[in-house]
Amino acid sequence: MVRPASALKKSSGKKPQDLKGLKASLLAWYDQTARSLPWRIAPEDRRKGKIPDPYKVWLSEIMLQQTTVVTVKPYYQNFLARWPTVKALAVATEDQVLHAWQGLGYYARARNLHACAQEIAKRKGVWPQQEEGLLALPGVGPYTAAAIAAIAFDQSAVPVDGNVERVMARLFAVTTSLPEAKSELRDLARSFAFGSRPGDFAQAVMDLGATVCTPRQPKCDLCPWQKSCRAFALGLAAELPHRAAKTAKLTRYAYVFWLISPEGKIWIRRRPPTGLLGGMMEFPSTPWVTTQDSPDKAQSAVALATPLLSPWELMPGTVRHVFTHFILELRVLKGRARRTTTDEKWVEPDHFSELALPSLMKKVARHAIGSASLTPQKHRK
């Protein structure tokens, strides 16, 4: 019988008794259907004793945060070809790592990746095996620590991301909205942290969420958990998890300076090492504020910092970029420097591709140059 959602008590979240049976049925499904991924040891190879390389597990998990498998594959392969070991990555420069990371977004991850590689190199390549030790490494949060512990070291851990939350919300018919339901869903997922094959189980739930228990139109007919799934029984599969209404994103505004030297080079600088796009190169701009500032104010701000004397020309149009928590709208001011100083960095547009320029700044360059000569980047949130 299908009951309407309103008839459910909030957060029913009742566990089926047979967690052991659920785990066994999911592992049997995984043995038959596991996705072949470049960083994965197939279940039959694990049974033959093949051991995952923690470096590869860690690298893939950091790359997969907020990013799809399809996007990550070429980056993962390129990183492994350039830096086949954690020690090799540790001796790369931060600029090399940021450059190789271009297009994956969330550049703090790349800086932490490099810092973490250096930390493991200091430990002579020995990784912590428990979640607690992994959590102390740069850039390793609870999800990644649990994923590495389970997949690389077969520790009893269940990594919980949005996919796993969705599967748990449905399996146990948890009707409390996200984000309030997060801790309940995490506890439900962790109730599977027992018995053998924790690494395969972690990857099996990931596969189930990615291929069967998908956000829209879950393929319940293919699901090994269908008989026990409370959301399926209640006709709520596609409806869960519920989410609290999103608040509208704030828009920030700024003027960005496209300053051309007498030799045709463009003024560029490095952002501070921490914070949004930290350590990346940028075209200088006014602060990103929530009200539109006047170009006059912006001009006087930059005139103090550069040898610029020519008037600015406001270019038509805006550059819009969507970050996770806000939208940025940039207007471009074009100007010519009469002279340059060695305190400033000037780069020919032809050499932009050699810089760690984030997608936002590539958009600015395309806007200012008015061409599509730079490699288009996927718009990331």
Q: Which residues bind ligand SF4 (CB under 6 A)?
A: 167, 170-171, 212-213, 218, 220, 223, 225-226, 229, 231-232, 237
Can you tell me the distance from the alpha carbon of 347 to that of 312, in angstroms, rounded to the nearest whole number? Answer: 20
Name the helix (H) or strand (E) containing 281: strand 281-282
Structural contact between residues 181 and 133, judged by C-beta atoms closer than 8 angstroms: no
What token pair was written down for 361?
């700044």
CA proximity to 171, closest of 20, 12, 32, 6: 12
Shortest approach of ligand SF4 to residue 165 CB, angstroms? 12
Shortest approach of ligand SF4 to residue 257 CB, angstroms? 51
Q: Which is nearer to ligand SF4, 19 or 115 (CB)?
A: 19
Q: Which is nearer to ligand SF4, 12 or 226 (CB)?
A: 226
Can you tell me the distance from the alpha carbon of 268 to that of 235, in angstroms, rounded to the nearest whole number? Answer: 56
Q: Which is nearer to ligand SF4, 169 or 308 (CB)?
A: 169
List strand residue ranges (DSSP E) for 14-109, in order: none
Structural contact between residues 23 and 192, judged by C-beta atoms closer than 8 angstroms: yes
- Of the candidates 61, 119, 131, 165, the residue annotated as catalytic is 61
Instruction: Tell me the pairing of strands 319-322 and 345-347.
Output: unpaired
Q: Which is nearer to ligand SF4, 89 or 237 (CB)?
A: 237
Q: Which is nearer to ligand SF4, 100 or 212 (CB)?
A: 212
293-321 as b/e: b if 16+ CB within 10 A: eeeeebbebbeeebebeeebeebeeebeb
DSSP states along 168-204: HHHHTT--SPBTTTHHHHHHHHHTT--SS-HHHHHHH
Q: Which is nearer to ligand SF4, 29 or 153 (CB)?
A: 29
Residues in the chain: 381
Based on the residue annotation, tell me whether 184 is a catalytic residue of this protein.
no
Return the active site residues. Answer: 61
